[in-house]
């Protein structure tokens, strides 16, 4: 997630570092307005958005019509007013490519691995068409399928920060929000996730991996 500023000139700037906004030419973002101070305000990345701080400007910094008197975190949708100029704040969700890695930890196929991406689910089994091919005789030819899913909008269970659909990581603490959906494809011996049979079950990233029994 990135906070983007749309300037009075219609140019846009992503807040990917701490920046000084003001009238001086050496500012990171220059606003050509006599009512704007040389160094007017500072803005930089912060958990959940971008933090804006007024730098003791002569005419003040206003967010949604309210004068900024203390640091404030912008999360998108706000309007910043400096001098006679207005800057729009936008929250940009970047659905970065995501992946999970499945690794066989026990048994005769220990060390075999496969990567699950957004592109397509992977099929695990003993058959030649399996994406993750196992040689264990207790594994069916087409045993199970594992696919990536992105959780819906909601609060992070770790930090409580609200994330949006498409966010691969929590906007607050940065933890992965990717989950894997495991579906039994009618195997003879079943699939266990955390000791429970699945058909299908969604298991979040970092939990005990699927086990073919």
Listing from the earlier edge strand, what are the strands of the sheet with 49-54? 29-30, 19-22, 41-46, 49-54, 72-74
| Rounded Cα distance, 39 and 33, in Å | 12
Do the Cβ atoms of 64 and 78 come closer than 8 Å?
Answer: yes
Mean of pLDDT values over 10-36: 94
Q: What confidence score (pLDDT) does residue 207 get?
A: 41
| Rounded Cα distance, 39 and 24, in Å | 7
CB atoms within 10 A of CB 95: 12
Query: What's the pTM value of the predicted model, to 2 decimals?
Result: 0.50
- pLDDT tens readout for residues 54-90: 999 999 999 999 999 999 999 888 999 999 999 999 9
Closest CA to 82 of 48, 49, 117, 58: 58
- pLDDT tens readout for residues 165-206: 666 667 666 666 777 788 889 899 988 887 888 765 555 444
Closest CA to 40 of 9, 62, 11: 62
């Amino acid at each position: 997630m990135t906070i983007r500023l749309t300037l009075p000139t219609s140019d846009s700037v992503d807040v990917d570092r701490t920046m000084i906004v003001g009238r001086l030419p050496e500012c990171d973002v220059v606003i050509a307005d006599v009512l704007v101070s040389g160094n007017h305000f500072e803005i930089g990345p912060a958990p959940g958005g971008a933090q804006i701080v007024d730098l003791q400007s002569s005419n003040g910094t206003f967010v949604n019509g309210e004068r900024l008197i203390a640091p404030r975190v912008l999360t998108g949708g706000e309007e910043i007013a400096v001098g006679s100029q207005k800057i729009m704040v936008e929250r940009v969700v970047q659905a970065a490519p995501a992946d999970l890695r499945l690794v066989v930890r026990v048994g005769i196929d220990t060390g075999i691995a496969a990567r699950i991406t957004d592109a397509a689910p992977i099929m695990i089994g003993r058959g030649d068409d399996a994406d993750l091919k196992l040689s264990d005789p207790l594994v069916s030819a087409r045993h199970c399928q594992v696919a990536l899913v992105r959780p819906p909008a909601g609060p992070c269970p770790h930090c409580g920060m609200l994330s949006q659909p498409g966010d691969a990581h929590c906007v607050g603490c940065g933890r992965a929000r990717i989950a894997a959906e495991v579906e039994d494809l009618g195997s003879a011996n079943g699939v266990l996730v955390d000791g429970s049979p699945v058909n299908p079950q969604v298991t979040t990233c970092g939990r005990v991996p699927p086990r073919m029994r």
